[in-house]
């Protein structure tokens, strides 16, 4: 039934296959018995294989076992889940927080919970697929504004008549590595809320690639010096810079209570195992105690970005450890990725429909050495 469609994908260089590691996650990985410098991981701080996370997970398994056995509402959670939620709320400076099983589950659960029929959602053109699907699952009408174009956003908001308005944006865009103009977006929402007795313009930020990376690790609001207002909802993940797994929502107590009762991806999912939650707690404590990890990450990012720019590569406006390298056609992008693979560097080609323009997506971590970065730059220089 799908054979013709698969032939089409292969013919157009759009077919993808899965590669599995023979090693732990890290700046160096083993695939098929060969070691590669890994420039494809979102493990920005190099915590996925950190002894503190492994130790915390082991201790939690001894006490709580492995499986959760039920959803949170059926007592599938442990006291560790509540502890992590308290820590995240404190970390994000909000009244409350809620753990989700993944960033995808969070966005597809929270957005439909807060956006009802008669509401309007305003979503950035380059928002992550999970945000796009969350908007589609809601009963609200969705308006797409041009990427980071706050004039276009404000114009759409002011022209739209709706019961409630919700602006949804990635704070760090996962394929381009640029940062949303959150201060300008915040000011638009603030101005609208100031004219009404009850704030009915919400701001929803996806901090998946910002938590642990920008704003001294606290994310986008801290980066822009924005106070976490009751009408702002922050989503973030533990699976990237924090090296663990799962996601969270952070906001006012009313928003979190509502989400607990309405978000289907939360209500109908088995709770994350306690050992994963324990690892997330350890990771959070680690980045608060060791800000040097974030400094190292940003230093590595700057070294890589400068090296690639000096070679004449277009890094597409990247401002973060996500550094896209413009490579032209799908064919030339695949060729570049294969060339790097021969040089012992793992940096997969990113192609449509994940992105409109093909590119190599280089992700730099705190675990990369100067030698790793120099090898990448040298390889791309010879390419």
Could you list the active site residues?
Answer: 174, 209, 240
CA pair distance 119, 327, nearest whole angstrom: 40
Q: How many CB atoms lie within 10 A of CB 346?
A: 20
| Surface-to-core class of residue 252, CB atoms within 10 Å of its CB (0-12 exposed, 13-18 middle, 19+ buried) | middle
Asked if residues 68 and 270 have their Cβ atoms less than 8 Å apart, the reply is yes
- Indicate the helix (H) or strand (E) that contains 204: strand 201-206
Q: Running DSSP on this structure, what letter comes out for residue 291?
A: T
Q: Running DSSP on this structure, what letter comes out for residue 172?
A: B
| Surface-to-core class of residue 25, CB atoms within 10 Å of its CB (0-12 exposed, 13-18 middle, 19+ buried) | middle
Asked if residues 370 and 303 have their Cβ atoms less than 8 Å apart, the reply is yes
CA pair distance 144, 156, nearest whole angstrom: 9
Asked if residues 130 and 136 have their Cβ atoms less than 8 Å apart, the reply is no
Q: Running DSSP on this structure, what letter comes out for residue 271?
A: P
CA pair distance 205, 285, nearest whole angstrom: 23
**Secondary structure (DSSP) of 11-66:** HTT-------BSS-SSSEEEETTEEEEE-S---TTS-TT-HHHHHHHHHHHHHH-S
Give the HSE-up count for residue 339: Cα atoms under 13 Å, Cβ half-sphere: 15
**Sequence-ordered list of residues with C-beta below 8 angstroms from that of 215, at least 6 positions apart, any chain:** 221, 222, 223, 224
Place of tokens 């909802």: 233
């Amino acid at each position: 039934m799908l054979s013709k469609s698969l032939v089409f994908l292969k013919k157009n260089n759009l077919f993808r296959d899965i590669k599995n590691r023979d090693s732990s996650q890290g700046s160096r990985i083993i695939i098929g018995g060969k070691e590669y410098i890994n420039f494809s991981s979102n493990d920005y701080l190099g915590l996925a294989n950190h002894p503190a996370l492994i130790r915390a997970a082991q201790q939690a398994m001894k006490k709580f076992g492995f499986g959760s056995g039920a959803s949170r509402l059926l007592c599938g959670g442990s006291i560790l889940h509540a502890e992590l939620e308290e820590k995240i709320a404190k970390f994000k400076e909000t009244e409350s927080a809620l753990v989700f099983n993944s960033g995808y589950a969070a966005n597809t659960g929270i957005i439909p919970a807060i956006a009802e029929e008669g509401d309007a959602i305003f979503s950035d053109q380059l928002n992550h697929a999970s945000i796009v699907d969350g908007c589609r699952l809601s009963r609200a009408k969705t308006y797409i504004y041009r990427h980071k174009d706050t004039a276009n956003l404000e114009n759409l908001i002011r022209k739209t008549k709706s019961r409630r308005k919700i602006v949804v944006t990635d704070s760090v865009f996962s394929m381009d590595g640029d940062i949303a103009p959150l201060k300008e977006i915040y000011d638009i929402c603030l101005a609208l809320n100031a004219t009404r007795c009850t704030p009915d313009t919400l701001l929803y930020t996806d901090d998946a690639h910002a938590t642990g990376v920008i704003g001294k690790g606290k994310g986008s609001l801290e980066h822009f010096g924005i106070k976490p207002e009751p009408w702002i909802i922050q989503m973030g993940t533990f699976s990237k810079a924090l090296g663990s797994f799962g996601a969270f929502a952070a906001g006012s107590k009313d928003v979190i209570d509502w989400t607990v009762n309405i978000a289907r991806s939360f209500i109908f999912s088995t709770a994350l195992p306690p050992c994963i939650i324990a690892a997330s707690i350890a990771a959070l404590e680690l980045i608060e105690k060791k800000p040097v990890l974030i400094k190292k990450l940003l230093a590595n990012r700057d070294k890589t970005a400068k090296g690639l720019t000096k070679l004449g590569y277009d890094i597409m406006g990247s401002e973060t450890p996500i550094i896209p390298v413009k490579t032209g056609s799908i064919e030339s992008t695949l060729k570049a990725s294969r060339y790097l693979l021969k040089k012992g560097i793992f940096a997969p080609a990113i192609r449509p429909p994940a992105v409109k323009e093909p590119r190599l997506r280089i992700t730099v971590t705190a675990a990369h050495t100067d030698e790793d970065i120099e090898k990448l730059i040298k390889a791309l220089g010879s390419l």
